[in-house]
Amino acid sequence: MKSIIPGLCFVMLSQLAPAPLPAQAAPAASKRAPAYVGQLVQTIQPSRELVYKKINGRELRLHVFEPPGKAGGPRPCFVAYHGGGWTSGSPRSMFSFTEWAAKHGMVGISVEYRRYKAGTEVTVFDCVKDARSAMRHIRAHAAGLGIDPDRIAAGGASAGGHLAAATALFTGVDEADDDLSVPCAPQALVLFSPVIDTSAEGYGGKKIGERWKELSPADRVVKGAPPTLLFHGTGDTTTPFKGAEKFRLAMTRAGNTIELVAVEGAIHTYMFKDAALYEETLRRMETFLRGLGFAGR
């Protein structure tokens, strides 16, 4: 299915319609585009912060955004993980998305996690463990957070998209003291230019090491994975678009639901860099989540 807005061409690819991509590039996604979301998040503040994990003398926090007004019952939840190649970035970079979730009747939560640094004890496996710990904490404390534990979506950008996928796909990569009786997998995934293939043709293999395949979403797809909305630019040279296609094909073969929004010529995390691209991304998110019974209004 193809939809067009001025200066931009989107192609929606699903398991039923692997449509060809158009030839023209998207001027709005040029490398000179301003960091639009980076400006937005500077003045946004969460409703509250909660510690979800203490490890090696450090507290890891959840930045919680709560919808206005009194809830008529447990609300759906959107859990966001920030990007930065697992080595940089902060929860604040996802605040505009978690604030958007709150404005649409969901509890929005942006997650802090340990960051990988070569030569230290913190590995990408630890980033994954934190992501999964956060999801279990949220579900275990759903009543106190006003959350419906059966309506949790996980999302993230770049390496954060990888960590969101990790909550659904990387069974067995868990902190030793996590309560494994608490389900980790969300009911939906929303991924923005994610690290989705950690092979030599993708991104992250050198940081992960010889066990890269254990942390490669495209290589860990299983039947029953959550419905997924994946945004990716065909001009992405950081996390190459062919990885998104590889993931889509694996999901399709496993019988899972996936929608791949391919933006011709767009670069890595394009939706963070331009207002029109950002708004179109939110519109598609809302349609997707409403269809699954998430967005409340």
pLDDT of res. 10? 52
What domain count does the chain have?
1
How many Å from the N-terminal Cα to the C-terminal Cα in the chain?
A: 26
pLDDT, average across residues 82-104: 97
239: domain CATH number is 3.40.50.1820
Residue 6 belongs to what domain range? 2-291
- Predicted TM-score (pTM) of this structure: 0.91
Is there a domain that residue 296 lies in? Answer: no
pLDDT tens for 187-244 read 999 999 999 999 999 999 999 999 999 999 999 999 999 999 999 999 999 999 999 9
Is there a domain that residue 251 lies in? Answer: yes
Give all strands (DSSP E) within 15-167, no chain letters.
48-55, 58-65, 75-81, 107-111, 147-157
Is there a domain that residue 157 lies in? Answer: yes
Q: Locate tokens 């995390």: which residue?
A: 269
**Band of the pLDDT at 26, cuts 50, 70, 90?**
very low
**Band of the pLDDT at 34, cuts 50, 70, 90?**
very low
Is there a domain that residue 297 lies in? Answer: no
Is there a domain that residue 43 lies in? Answer: yes
CB-based contact 123:143 (threshold 8 Å)? no
